[in-house]
Amino acid sequence: MRPTLRLFTEDDSAAGHVPLVTMSLGEFCQILGDAKDTDRTWIQDFADDEIQVPVDLYEVLHAYAHMRAAA
């Protein structure tokens, strides 16, 4: 399936109607990692956006961040 580009106006987001999609974490990480490695500027456009993750993934990420900071 080809991805489609959708444009959202301020009215769409003000109404709270922002559609969600589901994708694997592996696919997400691969795309995001490549974009970060190649310094794509669009990543900054979403830097302040909030995402939802399962609690167990959050706990792993949180623990990893603290372990990295301690090293």
Residues 6+ apart with CB under 8 A from 37: none
pLDDT score, position 11: 65
Domain boundaries defined on the chain: 10-70
Using pLDDT thresholds of 50, 70 and 90, give the confidence band for residue 14.
low
Q: Per-residue pLDDT tens for 19-70?
A: 889 999 999 999 999 999 999 999 999 999 999 999 999 999 999 999 988 8
Please say whether the beta carbons of 21 and 14 come within 8 A: no
* Pair 29, 23: CB distance under 8 Å: no
| pTM recorded for the entire structure | 0.63
